[in-house]
Amino acid sequence: MSKNIKRRNGIANYLNVGTGNEEYVLMGAGFTELKEVPASQVSSKKYITDKSATKRIIGYDWTTSFNTDQIRDEKAVEFICNVGEKQLVGEGCETDYVIVDLDKKSTIANEYKARKFRVAIEVAEFPTSDEGDLTATGNLHAVGDLVSGTFNTVTKKFTPETSEVKGV
């Protein structure tokens, strides 16, 4: 029996580069890595009558690391590099980030299951590649909880689910 392993090109990542309005752009050309790390937060308690501790997931410290070539006419790359070059802080380095699962179509044309995060962009460094090309590396850090919903890849609009299930 053959197993279908999910491929990276089955995921599309969009960054809101609009200032004061939504303008989602695909994080494609230039990006050589987008690595999602949920980083579960665990609590542990051991009672005196137990041999082993009881552990529970109590939250997440979600990040996505990125590596990109500085293809500055790509809006997502320009937006991220601008954060690092201008050393923006607080809301100046925050935006929305959507991860779209292209293998999970909605009933509406061009619409797919998606997760939306408010993120703070950390630009860690602007190294030079072995070929002499400028790159940028860093992390997208979650600000608050994710929102589940759908994303239309033509209109570039995110629609949240009408009912979020918490803590299930």
Tens digits of residue pLDDT in 103-117: 999 999 999 999 999
Q: pLDDT-based confidence at 21, cuts 50/70/90? A: confident
- In sequence order, which residues have a C-beta less than 8 Å from that of residue 80 and are 6 or more positions away? 15, 66, 68, 121, 123, 136, 138
Domain ranges for the chain, please list them.
8-39+53-160
pLDDT, position 49: 92
pLDDT-derived band at 167, boundaries 50, 70, 90: low
Percent of the chain with pLDDT over 70: 95
Average pLDDT, the chain: 92
Fold of the domain spanning 8-39+53-160 = Factor Xa Inhibitor (4.10.410)
